[in-house]
A = this chain, B = another copy of it.
Amino acid sequence: MFKEQLRKSAMDKFVAYTKKYTSLDEKELREMLDHIPMSFFSKGTILIRQGEVPEKCFFILEGCARKYSVDEEGREVTSDFMTENQTIAIFSPVDREGSPYSVSCLEDSIMVVGNLAEIEDENKRYPEFAEISQKIVEENMGSLQDEFASFIRLTPEERVKRMINMRPELFERVPQYQLASYLGITAESLSRIKRRLEYEDLKLVD
């Protein structure tokens, strides 16, 4: 597809998604969203670098990104995957130096990009968009609360089951060792658990 078509298709999905957060009708919503800048990023692009102060935040229209950090001992840990209709924002405490995470694109992606330094001016210019963004951030925070609570509660096998139910597309879109890291287990455990679950599934089908 050409970029203009990709842009149009991404915009259609964005309109469908944001509708529930606003009292604007579809025509007004489209007119407003036409002013919102959208960018294309190639697979592998690093959007935020660990140790640097983030200057931008993102909302994914199409694509997939990974949040990860490397600790003092050089271990890389994946702490989130973001896909369509999710935000990428490192909310640093005001006095914090740099981002504790990097975020990179796992796929070619189309995103809405916000400049953090201008966000207050932007919010004044597009108050309806500010309201939509605020609700999306709150919804993202709700999901983060849920993910964390379930992570504490569940055994590794239950975590894999939950992911199969809640975000099955990640198994296709994401390298398995990164998925394992996010689930707090080794890549070997992940494939063992998947095999066992597939076997149980086969027995159910029989």
Contact = CB atoms under 8 A, between A and B. Distances in A.
Interface of A: 20-21, 67, 69, 71, 75, 77-80, 90-96, 100-101, 134-135, 137-139, 141-149, 151-153, 181-182, 184
Nearest to A147: B148
A71 B153 contact: yes
Contacts of A184: 151-152
Closest 5 pairs between A and B when the two form their complex, measured CB to CB: A79-B149, A91-B142, A91-B138, A77-B153, A148-B148
A153 B75 contact: yes
B139 A182 contact: no
B143 A145 contact: no
A151 B154 CA distance: 13
A134 B89 CA distance: 14
B69 A149 contact: yes
Nearest to A95: B20
A198 B78 CA distance: 31
Contacts of A151: 148, 151-152, 184
A91 B145 contact: yes
Given A71-B153, A77-B149, A151-B152, 17 more contacts: A20-B94, A20-B95, A67-B149, A78-B152, A79-B148, A79-B149, A79-B153, A90-B142, A96-B142, A100-B149, A101-B145, A137-B141, A144-B144, A148-B151, A151-B151, A151-B184, A152-B184
